[in-house]
């Protein structure tokens, strides 16, 4: 068992198919298949269950995966460390909530890109749970997520403060929406704002809720303005629509309204120059806070819900 075999194994486990892993590794499928067959023969166990849609990990494969992730990460970090001479350059892979990307990141990343043009910066937008998982799995160097996030393998620092509000159509009082056939406009499972809205509605004693799921914020805001239902989002995202009379905003208590956007990263990943420069640009006065252990969320073996 060598590092190349583990890198191939990690790619197959992540993609769920030999052909997709081959594309990611820039090789041919027969090479990946042969590598996996040889690895299974060497270990004397089946690592994958084959089916018509691809492959899935066996229990033995599940046990091997954390070591493969660490191996791939160590090789990547070793190469990055050798090449890092103090000038920010190379790849920096970040994740963000869609709201944070829309509201906060454009000036930050524009400023960063101007200062450090040799950094190959990429930004992936996703839900809270997905971003946390991808940081834990070494797929992202860091991510902007909704707090609180507590996990023994993560470091976090406060990036931004947001104020949440309940938004309802301008022509219908919020009370009417809550009283009859409450419909909420939300993103998919794993969205932190969706989770918070569910808690708020439960605290109000509202049990019957119809959830309408959308893939983008634009779709949610468009349906909100069209009178389809209510939602929970940062005030700064909706204030212009409220000022124009297209939506109605309802304030929450300070405790319910206050939310922190955190920048998270793995504890065991060294600070290379591109990441250190981002942290300095982002919030130089806020030190990384050590996260506390918590029960791992059901959505992923290493995820934590924000």
Type and span of the H or E element at 169: strand 154-169
Which ranges constitute the DSSP H helices of the chain? Answer: 3-15, 18-25, 29-43, 59-83, 98-100, 106-115, 128-136, 174-179, 192-203, 217-225, 235-243, 254-257, 273-282
In angstroms, the CA 31 to CA 83 distance is: 29
Q: Which domains are assigned to the chain?
A: 3-82 (1.10.10.10), 84-154+267-290 (3.40.190.10), 162-258 (3.40.190.10)
Say what the pLDDT of residue 294 is.
Answer: 30
Residue pair 138/302 in contact by the 8 Å Cβ criterion: no
Say whether the peptide bond before residue 148 is cis (omega within 30 degrees of 0): yes
Q: What's the average model confidence in pLDDT over 55-82?
A: 87
Predicted confidence at residue 191, as pLDDT, reads: 87
Write the CB contacts of 140 (distance below 8 Å, at least 6 apart in sequence): 93, 94, 95, 124, 131, 134
Report CA torsion sign: 137, 193, 185, 197: positive
- pLDDT above 60 (res 97): yes
Q: What is the mean pLDDT of the chain?
A: 86
Q: What is the pLDDT of residue 38?
A: 93
Q: What is the pLDDT of residue 283?
A: 60
**How many Å apart are CA 279 and CA 147, to the nearest integer?**
18
Please, are residues 40 and 5 in contact by the beta-carbon 8 Å criterion? no
Of 172 and 102, more confident: 102
For the stretch 135-189, pLDDT in tens is 998 889 999 999 889 899 999 999 999 999 999 999 878 888 787 678 899 998 8
Residue entry with tokens 């969320």: 297
Higher pLDDT, 111 or 300: 111
Residues in the chain: 306
pLDDT, position 284? 46
Strands 154-169 and 142-146: unpaired
Q: 239-266: per-residue pLDDT in tens?
A: 999 999 999 999 999 988 999 999 999 9
Report pLDDT digits (tens) over 108-135: 999 999 999 999 999 999 999 999 999 9
Between CA 74 and CA 101 the distance in angstroms is 29
């Amino acid at each position: 068992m060598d590092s190349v075999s583990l890198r191939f194994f990690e790619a197959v486990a992540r993609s769920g198919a030999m052909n997709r892993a081959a594309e990611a590794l820039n090789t041919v499928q027969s090479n990946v298949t042969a590598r996996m067959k040889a690895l299974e023969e060497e270990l004397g166990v089946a690592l994958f269950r084959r089916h018509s849609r691809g492959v899935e990990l066996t229990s033995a494969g599940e046990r091997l995966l954390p070591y493969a992730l660490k191996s791939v990460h160590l090789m990547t970090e070793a190469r990055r460390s050798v090449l890092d001479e103090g000038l920010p350059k190379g790849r920096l892979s970040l994740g963000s909530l869609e709201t944070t990307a829309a509201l906060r990141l454009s000036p930050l990343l524009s400023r960063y890109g101007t200062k450090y043009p040799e950094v190959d910066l990429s930004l992936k937008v996703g839900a809270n749970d997905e971003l946390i998982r991808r940081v834990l799995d070494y797929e992202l160097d860091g991510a902007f997520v909704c707090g609180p996030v507590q996990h023994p393998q993560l470091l976090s620092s406060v990036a931004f403060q947001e104020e949440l509000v309940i938004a309802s159509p301008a022509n219908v009082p919020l009370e009417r929406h809550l009283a009859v056939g409450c419909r909420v406009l939300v993103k998919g499972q794993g969205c932190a704002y969706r989770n918070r809205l569910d808690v708020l509605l439960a605290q109000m004693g509202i049990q019957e809720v119809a959830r309408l799921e959308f893939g983008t914020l634009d779709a949610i805001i468009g349906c909100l303005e069209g009178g389809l239902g209510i939602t929970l989002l940062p005030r700064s995202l909706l204030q212009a629509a409220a000022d124009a009379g297209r939506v109605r905003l309802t304030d929450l208590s300070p405790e319910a309204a206050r939310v922190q956007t955190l920048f998270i990263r793995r504890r065991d990943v060294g600070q290379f120059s591109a990441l250190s420069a981002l942290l300095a640009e982002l919030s130089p006065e806020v030190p990384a806070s050590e996260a506390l252990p918590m029960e791992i969320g059901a959505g992923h073996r290493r995820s934590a819900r924000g």
